[in-house]
Structure 1
Amino acid sequence: MFIADIKRVVEQVSRDKGIDVEILIRALEEALRSAARKKFGSKVDIEAQYSPDTGEIEVFQFKEVVEEVTEPDLQIGIEEGRNLDPDCEVGDSLGTKMDTSSFGRIAAQSAKQVIIQKMKDAERDAVYSSYIDRKGEVINGIVQRVDRGNIIVNLGSTEAILPTREQIPRENYRRGDRIRALILDVLYDTRGPQIVLSRTHPDLLINLFKTEVPEISEGIVEVKGAAREPGSRAKFAVSSNDSDIDPVGACVGMKGSRVQNVVQELRGEKIDIITWHVDAAKYVCNALAPAEIARVIIDEENRSMEVIVPDEFLSVAIGKRGQNVRLASRLTGWHLDVNSESRYDEMMKQGYESLVNVPGVGSGLADAFVEKGIYSAEELAESTVDELTDIRGIGQEKAALLIESAQQYSVEAAQLAEARRIEAAQAAEAAAEAEKADAEETEEAASEPEPADAGGEATDETVAPDAEPLEDGQ
């Protein structure tokens, strides 16, 4: 059953499957132990040992040397023992080599199952070890099949899965197609390692640019971030460690050759390459390109920015269905609120008027509040006494009164606004009901049959059935 050139077979399997030779030898030893126990029972003391000199795995059965044998499978008499080893004594353990060919078909089948299972376990461990450190790497594979929307990819040594959620929308693959994806995760499963791929992760975009742009791999150009809406649009921020190298130009390439290669790989996904800036406001302005930015109001505490753009650039800054501002927000890590200049001026005007209307404020104090960065009654109501006392002419007592007045005014204004909203909603509902009633009345009138003439005089076109035709002149 086991031949002398087993060493060559083990080495061949090790090369083909990527499994360590020692692991395979231990698997074979365990298989022979299992086969022996299957043949002779679980109580027997069996040991299997690989001999690198002969290339064989030898199986030994150990028995205890006793005066009188009561369990032949576990014990050996002293006389028989001394025939094997003249120096043995009672209590020693003697091992005898077993003939593996006598194990029988069932035992051989058991050994085969052990070998198969051990090889599967070893292969699983080998694959896991070789891929666990490759997370975040781009890998090439061949589409093997599609299973319930998930794409099974052959990587050569193992299979990987590209889940539906990690696929670019409207991207179709058939069996045999080449595919390039990012190793998103490597999961250790009892059925084998599950390598999860992704074509939607921003790191795929970054790695593709690293492949296409030597300046990135050399460290001259540094990738600062990427944001994607897969299959539609992406934003990619870069900076240069060399003042003579334009980071955007390096990524675009001659006549756009480099960026076009990435675009083609991502099936036409539009890519905006922008320059990273250490100043957050300038970085945000770059991220919102091609829109022009009039001013930026920063709220460091909430990590948000209000971006004011000229009216004609509002739609450009927001983008189709808010895509441009959404991607810019993801890329920069700031919450962005985009407004047009006219809308911003209107909001500032309304806020200033609300300040003036707060009892005890007036226009002079309102101007002081605006200079302090308090632009509305609502913001005044949320201020603290310490913030207001920084303004000349306002003490702690007056500051507290002003805040209380602003809070009261804000509550009343909110209640008034809510009442107007309810009134407007009720008016709209009443108008809709009236319109519905008019439509139903019109429909009923249109469906009623026209009344027939009853006892009226005959018209010019009506002829009595019994009337004789008149002669000319009568």
Structure 2
Amino acid sequence: MATAISANKAELLAIADAVAREKLIDRGIVIEAMEDAIQRAAKARYGAENDIRAKIDPKGGDLRLWRVVEVVEEVENYFTQVSSTEAAKLQKDAKVGDFIVDPLPNFEFGRIAAQAAKQVIFQKVRDAERERQYDEFKDRAGEIITGVVKRVEFGHIVVDLGRAEGVIRRDQQIPREVVRVGDRVRSLILRVVRENRGPQIFLSRAHPDFMKKLFAQEVPEIYDGVIEIKAAARDPGSRAKIGVISHDGGIDPVGACVGMKGSRVQAVVQEMQGEKIDIIPWSPDTATFVVNALQPATVSRVVIDEEEERIEVVVPDDQLSLAIGRRGQNVRLASQLTGKAIDILTEADASEKRQKEFVERSETFQNELDVDETLAQLLVAEGFTSLDEVAYVELDEVASIEGLDDEIAQELQSRAQEALDRREAANRELRTSLGVEDALAELPHLTEAMLVTLGKAGIKTLDDLADLATDELIAKKRAEPRRRAENAAPQRSRPEDKGGILAEYGLNEEQGNEIIMAARAHWFEDDASAEEAQG
């Protein structure tokens, strides 16, 4: 920069143009930074107490320097105020209360002032460059971008994206993939975060969306929306599954993704370092989709538990290891793909489980309803699983069982209701012995059995319950496949695995919120009473 601000007008504009081109920022921002630097240098020269302004003509390069002063009757601060008499010399029609301009002469920068001015300009330009980078990438999350590996730090890969830098963290890399400085890499823009030191652009090669975008690049039908990838799951560097559907009945979604002689899928596989990809027809029917997702294993039967969001899959004995996969990989990916926890059972396991459930339910009916073994087993065989079902279904459903009439059905329902009342009374007594307040029993959706569970967890007062978040109360246990391959490594349990205190009762989020808000109601009543007392 020139040592005197009055020196070469064209030089100021030339510098502004060069910096704007180099940093890809607006020329006006650079000129504004220069004006700010000149203002600071002028304050150092004429006094920091002065309100000094500088203006560079963006066309001609002319510089104007002035200070702003207020017109007053009696001057108290000579740096920011001027008397009406002195003001008349600067501006004829000036009156008390006006702010007027007092022109200042140009001056030459000293070495220290010039260095300070450069620092101001550099900082302003750097801030503008960071803002430009953030604006350029903030709406590009989910895109694939190509960059050059700049360096590798502590296992994280820093990628030069041309106008910015991105980072592929260690957990977002494909395992065992070797990259070197100078290699070109494709990755998914995971997210862009604004930070003081500049925007942080996080990239990923391990995310399922990276695979989806690669297929969109290789398969024109996906790009055009004719074929849609409805679900994807990956075990990066090893195996992946995608569920695809065609919106055109004449196009096979799996065949289109595979391509002629596998050319399309192989292009994706090569980019993903040889990761094996299973392309599966997606189906709106959960059972059908689960059967497809567990390929190449053959499935005999699928049982869906909607309440628990779990799926029980029965496979022939010789298909068990294939369904589970090496280290549980196949069933794990199928579970991620369907969004449901999948339990794998052999025919023998399923038969044993059904027999055990049959015996347990028969014994419950036999003991609670005071009926003989034959009648208890008949109820189970007809699909009754609990006392609640016997007590509260339509009378005709019970009476329609072969060998029963309306009178017997009514008696069975009456006994079932009495058994439920006995359970409720026993739970109420246990709840009381645990010290759970009666006030909790008045809250919506809570049964005596739930109150016992709360009491055992140390939740005994309205305040105890009110302090909980909804997730802590009702969140279900994290969905994971229950059956693992024999050589699968044990997984460390996590806090969220335990689920909420009342997870076993199947309460939904709306019910959980109602319970928590009802427990907190007395807080607001107490606050209102306190305000009335103060008033």
TM range (shorter): 0.7 to 0.9
CA distance in 2, matches of 1:220, 1:66: 75
Distance 2:94 2:349 in 1: 104
Question: Is 1:397 aligned to 2:414, yes or no?
Answer: yes
Structure 2 gap ranges (5+):
400-407, 425-535
Tell me the distance in 2 between the aligned counterparts of 1:44 and 1:401. Answer: 90
Of residues 334, 338, 347, the one that matches 1:328 is 334
Aligned residue in 2 for 1:248: 254
Identity %: 45
Deviation of 1:371 (Å): 2.8
Q: 2:204 aligns with which of 191, 198, 209?
A: 198
Q: Indicate conservation of the 8 Å contact 1:64/1:94, yes or no.
A: no
1:35 pairs with 2:35: no
Q: Find the counterpart in structure 2 of residue 463 from structure 1.
A: none
- Structure 1 residues 337-348: aligned runs within 5 Å: 337-348=343-354
Cα pair 1:23 1:122 within 8 Å, conserved: yes
The match for 2:383 among 372, 379, 385 is 372
Residues 182 and 203 in structure 1, CA contact (< 8 A), matched pair in contact too: yes
Larger Rg, first or second structure (1 or 2) = 1
Structure 1 counterpart of 2:505: none
Tell me which of 6, 23, 26 is aligned to 2:32: 26
Measure how far apart 1:64 and its partner are: 6.4
Aligned to 2:141: 135
Measured on the aligned residues, the alpha-carbon RMSD in Å equals 3.0
Rounded to whole Å, the distance in 2 between the matches of 1:230 and 1:81 is 76
Question: Which one-letter code corresponds to 1:398 in the other structure?
Answer: R
Structure 1: which 5+ runs fail to align?
A: 375-379, 408-474
- In structure 2, relative to structure 1, the CA distance for the partners of 1:191 and 1:355 (3 Å cut) is closer
- The reply on whether 1:282 has 2:282 as its aligned counterpart is no
Alpha-carbon shift at residue 195 of structure 1 (Å)? 0.7
1:48-88 per-residue CA deviation (whole Å, 9 max, x = no partner) reads 11213312443223456799999876677999877776x36
Q: TM-score, normalised by structure 2?
A: 0.68
Separation (CA, whole Å) in 2 of partners of 1:330 and 1:369: 34
Shift of 1:311: 1.4
Q: Which residue of 265, 268, 273 maps to 2:271?
A: 265
Change in 2 beyond 3 A, CA 1:68/1:121: same
Superposition pairs of residues 223-242 of structure 1, within 5 angstroms = 223-242=229-248
Are the aligned partners of 2:67 and 2:103 in contact in 1 as well (CA < 8 Å)? yes
Q: 1:4 maps to what in 2?
A: 9
* Cα deviation 1:184-229 (Å, max 9, x = unaligned): 1111111111111111111101111111110001010011011111
State the AA in 1 paired with 2:30. L
Of the three residues 147, 160, 168, the one matched with 2:153 is 147
Matched, 1:167 2:178: no
Which of 351-360 and 71-80 deviates more? 71-80
Q: Which residue identity does 2:414 align to in structure 1?
A: E
Query: Residues of 1 paired with 2:29 and 2:374: CA distance?
Result: 86
Other-structure match for 2:227: 221
User: Contact conserved, 1:65 with 1:94, CA < 8 A, in 2?
Assistant: no
Residues 387, 416 of structure 2: 8 Å contact kept: no
Q: Whole-Å Cα distance in 1 between the matches of residues 57 and 203 of structure 2?
A: 43
Give the deviation of 1:43 after TM superposition. 1.4
How far apart are the structure 1 equivalents of 2:275 and 2:256?
A: 19
Distance in 2 (CA, whole Å) between partners of 1:280 and 1:391 is 31
Provide the TM-score with structure 1 as the length reference: 0.77
Count of residue pairs brought into register by the alignment: 400
Aligned to 2:307, the other structure's residue is in SS state coil
Distance 1:373 1:13, change over 3 A: farther
Change (3 A) 1:126 1:172: same
How far has the Cα of 1:182 moved from its partner? 0.9
Partner SS for 1:144: strand
* Aligned 8 A contact 2:384 2:390 in 1: no
| SS of residue in 1 equivalent to 2:9 | coil
Shift of 1:38: 1.7
Question: Structure 2: how far apart are the matches of 1:373 and 1:282?
Answer: 27
- What amino acid maps onto 1:363 in structure 2? T
Asked if the contact 1:81/1:94 (under 8 Å) is kept, the reply is no
Deviates more, 1:357-366 or 1:247-256: 357-366
Per-residue CA deviation, residues 318-362 of structure 1 (Å, 9 max, x unaligned), is 111211111111111112111111211122223333444444252
Structure-1 separation of matches of 2:95 and 2:56: 29
Distance 1:293 1:89, change over 3 A: closer
Judged with a 3 Å threshold, the aligned counterparts in structure 2 of structure 1 residues 111 and 382 are, in CA distance, closer, same or farther, namely farther
Residue type at the aligned position of 2:191: D
CA deviations over 1:387-431 (Å, ceiling 9, x no partner): 496423433223246779999xxxxxxxxxxxxxxxxxxxxxxxx
Q: Which amino acid is the alignment partner of residue 4 of structure 1?
A: K
